[in-house]
Amino acid sequence: MNVAFIINKERCTGCAACADACPKNCISMRADDEGFLYPHIDKASCVRCGKCEQICPVLRVEKKAVTDGAIPQSTPAAYAACNKDEAVRLASSSGGIFTLLAERTLALGGVVFGAAMREDQRSAAHIAAETPQELERLRGSKYMQSDTQGIYKQVKAALQAGRKVLFSGTPCQVEALRAYLGHEDANLLCVDFICHGVPSPKVWNKYVEFREGRAGAPVRRTFSRHKKYGWKTFALLFEFSNNNANVQIFGEDLYMQAFLRNACLRPSCHACSFKKLNRVSDITLADFWGIENIAPDMDDDKGTSLVLVHSEKGDNILREIAPSLRIKPVDTYEALKGNPSMLQSVPPHPRRAEFFANLDTLPFDELVHKFAREPISIKMLASAFLKKIGLFPVAAALYHRMKSFVKKP
């Protein structure tokens, strides 16, 4: 067994396209101690055909950079958008745009691929949805890496059957699908999102166990973007089989603290190869953080999406669903100021290694309090120093003036 055969571990995204592509079925995905899936190759069956290396999205991006050099970037059109159906918007992470794209696909007799929580709520996996009931399972963000084993084969089969397909996933999953298929298909619409990074499914699983222990009952449903306190102050919902439910604001939720402080992301997310302006997806969706400054008329704190369009197909389909939207064009660079994860990876929490080393032994609350505290940044230390010597107001004014000169590529 050898993981390094395809790519070194820190860079592997766990997309599982290599496992789907292997003609000898000799690649299986196995979880490591942190709970992330990695490919394992059965060397005895491997015929060294190189297919896995050919379709690895990380290796492809690297190779392309070498062969093509620096490609001039084009600016994707950007929009602020909200689904007019308020119930759908409230059940979605941002503006409910994914649901409209998915409903259009189903109405055309197509199939939608996206991430759903598994029945026991302990992990997420990509599934195919063909009915409105199945589509409901795809709605909303699942804050852990979704298992995509076998999904690329299913997408290929649906396209070969001549069906319309919507594939939605992280930027690395969409790149993986494009690499796996190897050619453009008029029936395929790819949607990715601006991705902070994906947390470990094992960490989520430990959190579910912890919450069940506290509640004294098994969990029945979870939802990571509840809008009881608003879209900007989103909250995590846990419903238990004893009919108790609990909604906790993200800033107070232990799991969200570990996630947003980067204590439990996949190693490859800290040097993501797919954070770029021009994507292989047709459309990129995101939360429109900062909408209150850019287009306040589009902000009612119930969820506004940032929609970035990368292709003519994406543009045409957005026009098709426009009657069901409130939509407004915005400046792409202004819009991205509130969402740096489009272009930059986040650094790991300084105590990430200790967090994982203690995951199996410490109770979840102790683990987070000990190893996922707000990291003390150079910025925080510098502000404390400047405040002490009385120069903070001058430095802050200078900093904000410099920030207003945002470089456009």
Beta bridge partner(s), residue 239: 221, 245
User: Is residue 98 near ligand FAD by the rule CB under 6 A?
Assistant: yes
**Three-class DSSP labels, the chain:** CCCCCCCCHHHCCCCCHHHHHCCCCCEEEEECCCCCEEEEECCCCCCCCCHHHHHCHHHHHHHHHHHHCCCCCCCCEEEEEEECCHHHHHCCCCCCHHHHHHHHHHHCCCEEEEEEECCCCCCEEEEEECCHHHHHHHCCCCCCCEECCCHHHHHHHHHHCCCCEEEECCHHHHHHHHHHHCCCCCCEEEEEECCCCCECHHHHHHHHHHHHHHHCCCEEEEEEEECCCCCCCCEEEEEECCCCEEEEEHHHCHHHHHHHCCCCECHHHHHCCCCCCCCCCCEEEEECCCHHHHCHHHCCCCCCEEEEECCHHHHHHHHHHHHHEEEEEECHHHHHCCCHHHCCCCCCCCCHHHHHHCCCCCCHHHHHHHHCCCCCCHHHHHHHHHHHCCCHHHHHHHHHHHHCCCCCC
Residue 150: name the closest of 28, 333, 325, 238 by CA: 28
**Binding pattern to ligand FAD, positions 16-55, x when CB under 6 A?**
----------------------------------------
**Between 94 and 200, whose beta carbon lies closer to ligand FAD?**
94
**Between 98 and 152, whose beta carbon lies closer to ligand FAD?**
98
Closest distance of CB 338 from ligand FAD, Å:
8
User: Is residue 287 near ligand FAD by the rule CB under 6 A?
Assistant: yes
Closest distance of CB 100 from ligand FAD, Å:
8
Closest distance of CB 68 from ligand FAD, Å:
27
The phi and psi torsions of 170 (rounded to 5 degrees) equal: -65, 160
Q: Which stretch binds ligand FAD (CB under 6 A): 168-176, 246-254, 315-323, 364-372?
A: 168-176
**Between 57 and 169, whose beta carbon lies closer to ligand FAD?**
169
Closest distance of CB 207 from ligand FAD, Å:
15
Report whether 45 contacts 14 (CB < 8 A). Answer: no
Spatial CB neighbours of 240, under 8 Å, sequence gap ≥ 6: 212, 215, 217, 218, 219, 220
Closest distance of CB 135 from ligand FAD, Å:
9
Binding residues for ligand FAD restricted to 140-159, rule: CB under 6 A: 140-144, 146
Choose, by CB under 6 A, the member of 55, 165, 285, 318 that binds ligand FAD: 285
Closest distance of CB 224 from ligand FAD, Å:
8
**How far apart (Å, rounded) are the C-alpha atoms in residues 372 and 200?**
14
**Binding pattern to ligand FAD, positions 299-318, x when CB under 6 A?**
------x-------------
**Binding pattern to ligand FAD, positions 195-214, x when CB under 6 A?**
xx-x----------------
Binding residues for ligand FAD restricted to 240-279, rule: CB under 6 A: none
**Between 248 and 284, whose beta carbon lies closer to ligand FAD?**
284
**Between 41 and 111, whose beta carbon lies closer to ligand FAD?**
111
Closest distance of CB 285 from ligand FAD, Å:
4
Binding residues for ligand FAD restricted to 106-125, rule: CB under 6 A: 114-115, 124
Choose, by CB under 6 A, the member of 308, 341, 371, 372 that binds ligand FAD: 341
Choose, by CB under 6 A, the member of 35, 57, 95, 201 that binds ligand FAD: 95
Q: Which stretch binds ligand FAD (CB under 6 A): 12-20, 28-36, 66-74, 137-145?
A: 137-145
User: Is residue 103 near ligand FAD by the rule CB under 6 A?
Assistant: no
Report the greatest alpha carbon distance in the chain. 70
Q: Which stretch binds ligand FAD (CB under 6 A): 29-37, 163-171, 237-245, 393-401?
A: 163-171
Site residues for ligand FAD per CB under 6 A: 92-99, 114-115, 124, 138-144, 146, 168-170, 193-196, 198, 285-287, 305, 339, 341
